[in-house]
Structure 1
């Protein structure tokens, strides 16, 4: 994926999060602090501001842009979400710029796996814990399957976004075992995880960016 498409992706993510920030806040009010939507909105506003400042830099690869976005998210989003989202973007960017397959679909699949693994390590999350890992893992696996079947980036991204949205819905009946929501015990059942919902928006923004090429 080139740097121009990466810029479009990040801007589309900011747009979707801005549009859905009230819903994300309502989700977080049910099982968290109630500030997730505001925090994500602030973080992606900071990312777009950084993109505006660096728009004349011609040597910015997709990987560098994503690492920069990750750094910005870590410093501008409060709570646990900043490190989690930030680390995933940094892992994604570092893998894209590192050694790997020449085919861009397989390279991006490896980068998504690295990003998912970073969430797993940092948050110590397992499948079924009702976290964003319940979205990142199936989405990255869906992307890899689509790429392995010969699909292009846009087709693979759509498969990942569909899996991400299914992953969000799957968090609703789960009992949270990580994060603040875990303190609610059975009362966390019946609510979607807000971090998972935000991540699904980011995957949908990737589809929008790739289909806009």
Structure 2
């Protein structure tokens, strides 16, 4: 990886690292989900991301990698997380084209397309206490940093920080979407598990760009 691009191999490594972090934290994610959901987010995400890892060597372009990732997540992750994460990666793939590298600007454009697809699929917005609360501030921070001339490394770190802040901001929120919304006011005081897993995308990418 150069300082100014992400290659197919970099993105494959991003997804491998994401799967590893999910597996390392699957019990934590399930504990979060047990408080306000179905107590299966960690197990579901671990199963889905492990399945993704088995497909990574099959892709010969970035769009193929991302689309296959999305389709695999849809078919292997239970609950609402599969369709949402799957939609995000498929929309990312549709936004890239058959290329082998992405500039930071191109990556940001693709990820924003993915997040917008996820929002449309889930009919959710900021402060609904969902993964959007971690994803949208992160891509905003990433794009702002790139626009200001930051390096890829620094832009990813800015996004990582914004994602973590967005995740933590879900604690006092009352859920307006998903299983947690059934709890009403009782959903306040708990960290959203989807927002927690979404931050791992940026933790994984930070590891890749540092390496």
**Given the two structures, how large is their TM-score scaled by the length of structure 1?**
0.92
Separation in 2 of the partners of 1:166 and 1:98?
34
Unaligned runs of 5+ in 1: none
Aligned length: 205
1:103 is displaced (CA, Å) by 7.4
CA contact (8 A) 2:62 2:98 kept: no
Deviating 4+ runs (over 4 angstroms)? none
**Given the two structures, how large is their TM-score scaled by the length of structure 2?**
0.93
- Does residue 33 (structure 1) correspond to residue 32 (structure 2)? The answer is no
Q: Partner of 1:171: helix, strand, or coil?
A: coil
1:202 is displaced (CA, Å) by 1.2
Unaligned runs of 5+ in 2: 1-5
Separation in 2 of the partners of 1:103 and 1:29?
38
- Identify the residue that residue 74 of structure 2 maps to in structure 1: 74
Separation in 2 of the partners of 1:61 and 1:27?
36
**Per-residue Cα deviation, 1:100-146 (whole angstroms, up to 9, x for no partner):** xx971111111121111112101111111001111111011011001
- Identify the residue that residue 85 of structure 1 maps to in structure 2: 85
Q: Partner of 2:25: helix, strand, or coil?
A: helix
1:164 is displaced (CA, Å) by 0.7
Separation in 1 of the partners of 2:88 and 2:202?
13
**Per-residue Cα deviation, 1:134-189 (whole angstroms, up to 9, x for no partner):** 11110110110011011122221111111111111000000000000000001100
